Amino acid sequence: MQIDKFKIVNYAGQYRDQILDVWEKSVTATHHFLKPEDFKSIKEQVLTIDFNDLQVYCLVSESEVAGFIGVAGDKVEMLFISPDFTGQGLGRHLMEFAIDTLKIKKVDVNEQNIHAVGFYKKLGFEVYERTSQDDQGKEYPLLRMKLIIFI
């Protein structure tokens, strides 16, 4: 599928079920390091999010959501692409939008998510800090990355 078949749109309630589905499929495909009980706990938290309260953008083709990105200030807080659409440049497309339009400069990524770490490095992000736990105090180290140079 070609990127030009997708458009980036502001989140709207009609996309809620789809982005929750994208989130779950993406995490299941990429976060093998999560303990099942932690995945369940995180999922319960995600289900309570009111995406209207956040700066969220959906990547849509016709009425299908292929991925989404959420930002706060100059930081990407969430980026998820459906496994049905990975490897097609859609994550890069959303990140280019976030960098160019939203002026983001930072992202946190789970250290164990090596594909995501490599993805952000390819885009010009560099690790400036490592935590031993995630923001919920779980034993999932985070790499805090900042944009050094955009490629």
> Residue 5 is which amino acid?
K
Find the Cα–Cα–Cα–Cα dihedral 123, 128, 131, 135, rounded to 10°.
Answer: -60
Question: What would the two tokens of residue 32 be?
Answer: 């093998």
Mean pLDDT of 115-143: 95
pLDDT digits (tens, 9 = 90+) for 11-66: 999 999 999 999 999 999 999 899 999 999 999 999 999 998 889 999 999 889 99
What are the residue boundaries of the structural domains of the chain, listed by start? Answer: 3-147
Q: Are 59 and 90 in contact (CB under 8 A)?
A: yes
Domain 3-147 is of which CATH architecture? 3-Layer(aba) Sandwich (3.40)
Which residue from 70, 67, 78 is spatially nearest to 25, judged by alpha carbons? 67
The 3-state DSSP class for residue 59 equals strand
124 in the Ramachandran plot: left (φ > 0), alpha (ψ -120 to 50) or beta?
Answer: left
What is the pLDDT, as a whole number, of residue 151? 53
Let me know: does 80 contact 22? Beta carbons within 8 Å: yes
Write down the pLDDT at residue 89: 93
The percent of residues in the chain predicted with pLDDT above 90, rounded, is 85
Nearest to 113 by CA among 75, 80, 146: 80
Question: Is 59:8 a contact under the CB 8 Å cutoff?
Answer: yes
Q: What is the pLDDT of residue 150?
A: 58
State phi, psi for 70 to the nearest 5 degrees. -125, 135
Tell me the residue ranges of DSSP E strands in 27-135: 55-61, 64-72, 75-81, 106-110, 125-130
